[in-house]
Amino acid sequence: MNYSLFITGSPTSSKACHTALDFAEAVVQDSRHTLSGVFFYEEAVNIANALAMPPRDECNIRDEWVQFAHQHSIPLYVCIAAALRRGELNEAEAKRHEVDQHNLASGFLLEGLGSLLSLTLESDRTMRFK
């Protein structure tokens, strides 16, 4: 079965990102399943903020997602509208909005809702974590 993940819960005030990562790891470990991609929306886009630093005694869920995605070649999409609303920009968006800095963490891609639609259409199941 081919899965895609849709995450809306905050990486700091919910366990949505953690639970979704556990699910994603289980999917890729079972050779009968594949994972097409992950789409972060609403408060979940905060996971891609390169300037957010969790306390040293907590796991860095952002880095864990990036490592997982790199290891398994899974794209990590961040809703561009939700990210911009929260002050998260990649280099291209910073230039477009004439801002000197950008803070989108490496490994994440700013994309529109069309990417979510594509993921949903190519997947047998889309799992939401909120």
Of 24, 79, 82, 116, which residue is the catalytic one?
79
For 57, other C-beta atoms within 10 Å of its C-beta total 5
Single-letter amino acid, residue 103: N
Residue 59 appears among annotated catalytic residues: no
**Dist. CA 47–CA 122, nearest whole Å:** 24
> Which H or E element spans position 107?
none
All residues at 6 or more sequence positions from 124 whose CB lies less than 8 Å from its CB, including other chains = 1, 2, 3
**Dist. CA 27–CA 25, nearest whole Å:** 5
Catalytic residues: 79
